[in-house]
Structure 1
């Protein structure tokens, strides 16, 4: 019976490592969220801007997107709008061309978003380059909220806060609130490696195209900015809106694509781990994010396998030990979760919400795991594919 203790110890060690990193880092960042932003903000900073909108078969949303972009609070004579169309087979380019102030670049072949962005970069004239997705809507004041941070000579790029407009996506939004808290706190410490593709702004002089095989072009570009010694920040007042996928299949597809992209980018930049050249980002932020997105999914798989082995060798002992540990650790974990949640939302945390968040993170870990395995076996598989149910009118 005691033979089962060996795999059980391995199982608990893996779970303990994952739990420790997630809760400790989350708690640390939740507290960091309350400190002052050490950025030289200049509200009068009003540079010329080039806005790039990559498209592929976006005829359902491109007109509203361009109207939304043209309505942004920024002098029109300082605004360049570029639609880079990746060989759409519908009326996307035709609709975009009907806007006289919009430049349309058509690619003959569908080569992927990274290559499309690279081509668009050759046409920008603005001091700041904004990249935004066709299926998102930007809040009217998003530029006024974001640009002051780019006035700081040490800041190279910023991203904004996503708000899901679908009533059915409250659970997802709760998870996103914690995700955004992490990005905000990391930005206050130094930089965040994870950007939101629907709204990103870069100083033109630090802008570098993502690798052609890039899946998460947003995170790739943020990492390039950090490599060059600039800060990449999350600005919570720079708001954009998106629809969440309405079907379970599309939700999984979206998360898998995103997870695979982050794993690819983090692995590509693993030389930055514990690298003092990058300051707090290299010694604290990136190692923690690398652990959560690359290492912990494999630890979770190891813990599951060793648990099953332990259960087969000594079911009674395994279940008793796990039950005792659960009784001891769950209240502590909930208390830390409640502390983190108090920095994210004003409402009081409940145990049901804690369990839903826990299950969401477990699901995310397995999604990352499967994405990493597919990436290792098959390489880059995700083309620039849209999720059709998010191509609907915004009512905001």
Structure 2
């Protein structure tokens, strides 16, 4: 009996993922963004804390973009860094010849509040928010903005985040497996209506439609998307706007990073439940699936797995032990496998649920490792 109850709970846990698997394979696909005939002026906002190891390369990366340097300004917010981030950022921007302004917070504000502060100073109607420790491809900004201005119903767009292409570490392999599926899920949602599971590494929005990012609960990226959706507009995922992050080499650092992200995503999810009343595909279909995935799936999966193993052990101890050993071997040698990625993600979500209520608005840098290699 325990065996079959466990199987039933596991099936219930993965049900929304099966729906997405079907959708991303046979559902509506997003078309390519149009080619920009004219580059609209944009304000790029970067919020940073202790990023001295990467800030010079980040500024060089922005300058190397195909987006003309005379069509953007950069507002750099230093969130009380204890290292030389602000000084090095000022030097790098000046050397690159990029129009910029530096804001030095007098207290730690976190990403959301720093972005809101900088948005008040933005000169242009399109705002791009991006991290200090990521690197986007040359055409990423152009693709992102092209998608944003291609449809008056689109208020916000995010890029497609992946580990650095040459990173073959085990944490990067696991993250790559997760990101590949994650991006396809978001692309399907976007093709039909909207997605709120944005990548904060690269987001663009129309400032007259997204006037403020909720800075009390939730992640800046998801809250930006929710603000667009709440106003009746679309928030979409642009897979051709590629951006890369350097994944922490050790699992402990990656674990802290993923838990923080999971917590803030769940916070944003639970803070916008009133949108379920809206009559649109996002509210009637995708949002309920996401709520189920983040709030119900982790518990169903782990309880179901425990009951399955206990039930199997009662029937055959050898078989149960062999199955556990097999999973352990898969986890060690095939960390990029779907089953390992799914299980790891459930751990992050479960821990994120337990963290609800804690103030997660400020962060710690995970890019200092770049300065040592």
TM-score by length of 1: 0.81
Measured after TM superposition, the shift of residue 302 of structure 1 is 3.3
- Whether contact under 8 Å (1:256, 1:367) holds in the other structure is yes
- Whether contact under 8 Å (2:177, 2:341) holds in the other structure is no
Alignment partner, residue 284 of structure 2? 283
Alignment partner, residue 338 of structure 2? 357
Alignment partner, residue 27 of structure 2? 32
- Whether contact under 8 Å (1:207, 1:225) holds in the other structure is yes
Measured after TM superposition, the shift of residue 316 of structure 1 is 2.1
- For residues 228 and 353 of structure 1, the distance between their equivalents in structure 2, rounded to whole angstroms, comes to 43
- For residues 163 and 393 of structure 1, the distance between their equivalents in structure 2, rounded to whole angstroms, comes to 22
Unaligned runs of 5+ in 1: 327-351
Measured after TM superposition, the shift of residue 11 of structure 1 is 2.9
Alignment partner, residue 21 of structure 1? 16
- For residues 300 and 226 of structure 1, the distance between their equivalents in structure 2, rounded to whole angstroms, comes to 30
| Alignment pair present for 1:103 and 2:101 | yes
Measured after TM superposition, the shift of residue 121 of structure 1 is 0.8
- For residues 369 and 75 of structure 2, the distance between their equivalents in structure 1, rounded to whole angstroms, comes to 22
In structure 2, the residue corresponding to 1:205 is in which secondary structure? coil
Unaligned runs of 5+ in 2: 324-332
- For residues 22 and 135 of structure 1, the distance between their equivalents in structure 2, rounded to whole angstroms, comes to 30
Alignment partner, residue 85 of structure 2? 92
Alignment partner, residue 155 of structure 2? 156
Evaluate the alpha carbon distance shift between residue 31 and residue 392 of structure 1 in structure 2; reply closer, same or farther with a 3 A threshold: farther
1:197 is aligned, of 200, 206, 210, to 200
2:362 is aligned, of 366, 373, 383, to 383
Task: Let me know the Cα RMSD of the aligned residues.
Answer: 2.8
Aligned residues: 353
- For residues 262 and 201 of structure 1, the distance between their equivalents in structure 2, rounded to whole angstroms, comes to 18
Measured after TM superposition, the shift of residue 300 of structure 1 is 2.0
Measured after TM superposition, the shift of residue 317 of structure 1 is 8.5
Evaluate the alpha carbon distance shift between residue 105 and residue 301 of structure 1 in structure 2; reply closer, same or farther with a 3 A threshold: same
In structure 2, the residue corresponding to 1:43 is in which secondary structure? coil
Evaluate the alpha carbon distance shift between residue 315 and residue 186 of structure 1 in structure 2; reply closer, same or farther with a 3 A threshold: same
Residues 303-342 of structure 1: pairs in structure 2 closer than 5 A:
303-304=304-305, 306-307=307-308, 315-316=314-315
Q: Which runs of 4+ in 1 moved over 6 A?
A: 317-320, 352-355
- For residues 355 and 63 of structure 1, the distance between their equivalents in structure 2, rounded to whole angstroms, comes to 31
Measured after TM superposition, the shift of residue 20 of structure 1 is 2.4
Measured after TM superposition, the shift of residue 41 of structure 1 is 4.1
In structure 2, the residue corresponding to 1:123 is in which secondary structure? coil
Residues 122-271 of structure 1: pairs in structure 2 closer than 5 A:
122-151=120-149, 152-165=151-164, 166-168=167-169, 169-271=172-274
1:65-104 per-residue CA deviation (whole Å, 9 max, x = no partner) reads 1222233223333211110111112221122223342200
- Whether contact under 8 Å (2:154, 2:236) holds in the other structure is yes
- For residues 306 and 145 of structure 2, the distance between their equivalents in structure 1, rounded to whole angstroms, comes to 49
294-303 or 188-197, which deviates more: 294-303
Alignment partner, residue 374 of structure 1? 355
- For residues 121 and 367 of structure 1, the distance between their equivalents in structure 2, rounded to whole angstroms, comes to 31
In structure 1, the residue corresponding to 2:355 is in which secondary structure? helix
Evaluate the alpha carbon distance shift between residue 354 and residue 246 of structure 1 in structure 2; reply closer, same or farther with a 3 A threshold: closer
